Structure 1
Amino acid sequence: MINVKSLTAVLVSALILGVLYLCNSLSYSRTSPQQNITPNNITPKNRLSADVNAMSNEVHLVAPDHLQYEQPSIVQGSRTDVVTVTPWMAPIVWEGIFNPVLLDGIYKPKNITIIATVFAVGNYIRFLKKFLETAEQHFFVGFKVHIYVFTDRPNEVPQVTMASGRQLMVRLVPSSKRWQEISARRMELIQILIEEQLPNNRNYIFCLDVDSEFHGRWGSESLGGLVAVTHPGYYRDARSNFPYERRPSSRAYIAPGEGDFYYCGGAFGGLLQEVHQLAKTCRHNFEADAKEDIEAAWQEESHLNRYMWINKPSKVLSPEYLWQDFKPRNPEIHIVRFSGVVKNYAEIRPNP
């Protein structure tokens, strides 16, 4: 015969456990790192929700078995003249702080593809041949590389012999009477390229200036979720001297006393989904500004700096990764890997 008191006790206990489980689930859903964090949670109310990218892209690193290399140390660094980590614990990549053999051994078995975008519009087509030739010598050598050239002069794209696994794709874009418009449209075109042509989120993309040349290794040490390059003209300066967009009316606005580093618009990258979010956000903010007749101080570079102030890069590349040929090399620059060439802007730009 069923004991009514025992059955009642069991039912009450089950009900209490069910309520506790439901409360715990709701609490977890509110604190889970997968939530869509809005700027109101972490910044003043005037921040746009489009500023924040809550995705996480931790990469599991597997080293080849029996690979031998020099023993690393945590008490004696190979560089003492520079800072090698940001306040948010992202690596800052300098010559001498990484082992290229170890890194290539980790990343090559992943069978990843490195995508590079480059814009050769108008007279900038003259720089493309040297860019492509030097990329063959130094940019992710030994990896699969796909280079997308955006140009309004497809018939002038040079023939460059490329190694096995490396391809060149040409995409036609309209010309423009203002170089600022060419610069501003890059984010839109990068966003569309990723959405329409690059579905594999395990791959990486770097967006690079065509009026530049490679001089040394640019490889797996630069891979990360969201990758920024510190600007060679400002990396020693106080942030009060950075050419951020300072008008509060612009969506690229960074207030005095805010900001980390000043990043280059001519070199940035990371995982496809991270760069897609960056390009989509910067495009949205640029177009919203344009509807109010606002053009940020340095077009897409201003919006990129705003985005990366909120969404911290997971890896920062030193000025080795985009030096300026007209500048003398500072003592901490042990190697120039990529640099902007000396040029006469009056000859190559369609407007002053």
Structure 2
Amino acid sequence: MSDLDALLAWAGQFLPAPLPVAGLQLAAVTGDAGFRSYFRSNTKPSFIVALAPPEHEDNRAFVNIAIAMAKGGVHVPQIYAVDYEQGFLLQEDLGDWLYLDALNGATQGQLYDRAEATLLQIQRLPAASGLFPAYDASLLQGELELFPEWFVGGLLGVELDQQARLLLIEVFTILQDSAAEQPEVVVHRDFHSRNLLQLEDGGVGVIDFQDAVRGPLSYDLVSLLRDCYIRWPQALVEKRVEGFRRKLLAQAGAALELPDAATFLRWFDLMGLQRHLKVLGIFARLSLRDGKARYLDDLPLVMRYVLEVAQKYPETEAFYRWFIDCLEPQLLQHPWYQPWQVAGEAA
């Protein structure tokens, strides 16, 4: 019996009768960048059935985090049944109206207001509960190493000399130090337009939260506002960053120590640089190792985020110059490449 047949038989035990005349069917829906596969049932109401191989996915963490987020008022899919041994889950269907499809110039204000309200709910969860592992220097460093391994070496075929290695060590240290300055909160880690859904009641559905950690305050905000799949003008982004800082102050008052606007923006920028260097490595790996070449089309926008921040701050300007001088000539040879200076302009 195939995994899909086994999943179908398992799900049929829990779905409400009567089933459709043609019998239970599962239609594939777009999954995330991991090993999970998602299917929608042809029942009314419909359900989402997930195949999450236990050798690759921590399904207990997924369930426990879902429970914690739901208790905190975050609308995540309710989980109705789970088989940990086989990696099967039956969960609520939140629909498929992704933020990515709903966002435009007319809707972005209201949608981001709602997303930020949801983010504040996530950040109010008890970070020290033991459920969320620390997003510490070791984890940050491991993520940053994806950039030289998979993007620089794997995708571009560039071998780092000693000077380049020292430069990366210096930049990585700057990014880790900036992250360590920030208050710790619960971090979704992929809080962006492909993991947020606009619900029929006007609420925000949140998915793909299984990798949540305890980490820097600005991480999810930069995932949201410097989204790897949609770009907004810098002035709008910076206005929202300052607006979010003020929301934090209004919510927590003296209980939360926050810096002035310029320092908070620097936190945001450098956190984004860390995230987007990691994403360059992840997208390259998804193509090279996992055969998901579609992620290459998103690289130019991610590079734009990296380079715009790198050239903004004196301490990262040498990295910007190295990227332009040593990596950009190799990028020009790839069919998916477009000039990073204009990437994402259609948004």
TM over 0.5: no
The TM-score bracket by the shorter chain reads under 0.3
Rg (Cα) greater in structure:
1
TM-score (norm 1): 0.27
If asked which structure has higher relative contact order (CA below 8 Å, sep 6+), I would say 1
Comparing both structures, which one devotes a greater share of its residues to helix?
Answer: 2
